[in-house]
Amino acid sequence: MRLTNDVHLVGGGNFAFNLSSGADCHIYALKTGDGLALIDAGVGLGMDMVIDNLREDGLDPADVRDVFVTHYHVDHAGAVARWRRLTGARVHTSHGAAKAVRDGDEVAVGLNQAKIGGYYPADYILEPCVVDAEFDGGVPIQLGRLQLTPVDAAGHCDGHAVFLVEGGERSYLFSGDCLFWGGTIILQNIPDCNIPEYAATMERLDRLSFDALLPGHLTISLRDGKRHVDTAVRAFRSLGLPRQAIQL
Ligand SMILES: [Zn+2]
């Protein structure tokens, strides 16, 4: 699904448009002018559908050079090993997420609890994956004609990052599970969900400028995306909490 000249949406599950496996997050493909970069990998249960979506959009899956994950929850990072094997793509994570991805640590990423919650099949296995590069918050990465700047965004879970992408027809914030349409967030009953860190993250996002908000699930804003940060930051500043994006 073409969103702009820079970004296609090539996967997404039950909390989105059901483009691929029901358990997938939004999987975005960036056209960098030097191959493709994926923002989030999906769960890995519907890879053939994601590959079909790429092809139907005129994109060659073999051109996927880089995969960036916002965070280690398996709807976002579960498929990194498969993408790396299939395309030779370089896998990029934050320092905080790298160890759990390398180890396939199902406890660290909350998979054991998410299985009990019924989000993934009981026999789903998180495959360990080589992490080719650990990015630093605030340090830009050049991808062809685009510049991707990771921003530290803990709160939803440890090691969460969001990605500011500039140099295309407009600027984008890929916000993972940190911020959603309407200024909503996802707090979960997991050990590494942290409200004060979430509030500090929102202040950090408030200092960014961007046009489009492209979250990990639900609706997308191609213009005026910053208004969703305004709503969330107002709630935190009033010592309250933004609304939950998904009523669990
Ligand atoms: Zn998610």
The conformational region for residue 167 under phi > 0 = left, psi -120 to 50 = alpha, else beta, is: left
Taking the centre of ligand 1 as the mean of its atom positions, its distance from the CA of residue 176, in whole angstroms, is 7
Q: What is the pLDDT of residue 246?
A: 86
Taking the centre of ligand 1 as the mean of its atom positions, its distance from the CA of residue 72, in whole angstroms, is 9
DSSP bridge pairs for 90 = 66
Taking the centre of ligand 1 as the mean of its atom positions, its distance from the CA of residue 58, in whole angstroms, is 27
Rg (CA), the chain: 16
Taking the centre of ligand 1 as the mean of its atom positions, its distance from the CA of residue 166, in whole angstroms, is 23
Report the candidate in 17, 19, 49 with the shortest Cα–Cα distance to residue 218.
17
Taking the centre of ligand 1 as the mean of its atom positions, its distance from the CA of residue 169, in whole angstroms, is 27
Taking the centre of ligand 1 as the mean of its atom positions, its distance from the CA of residue 32, in whole angstroms, is 24
Taking the centre of ligand 1 as the mean of its atom positions, its distance from the CA of residue 130, in whole angstroms, is 21
Q: What is the pTM of this model?
A: 0.97
Taking the centre of ligand 1 as the mean of its atom positions, its distance from the CA of residue 43, in whole angstroms, is 10
User: Cα(247)–Cα(180) distance, rounded to whole angstroms?
Assistant: 13
Taking the centre of ligand 1 as the mean of its atom positions, its distance from the CA of residue 71, in whole angstroms, is 9
Taking the centre of ligand 1 as the mean of its atom positions, its distance from the CA of residue 18, in whole angstroms, is 14
Taking the centre of ligand 1 as the mean of its atom positions, its distance from the CA of residue 73, in whole angstroms, is 7
Write the CB contacts of 164 (distance below 8 Å, at least 6 apart in sequence): 148, 149, 151, 171, 172, 173, 208, 210
pLDDT tens string, the chain, 248 residues long: the values are: 999 999 999 999 999 899 999 999 999 999 999 999 999 999 999 899 999 999 999 999 999 999 999 999 999 999 999 999 999 999 999 999 999 999 999 999 999 888 988 889 999 999 999 999 999 999 999 999 999 999 999 999 999 999 999 999 999 999 999 999 999 999 998 899 999 999 999 999 999 999 999 999 999 999 999 999 999 999 999 999 999 998 76
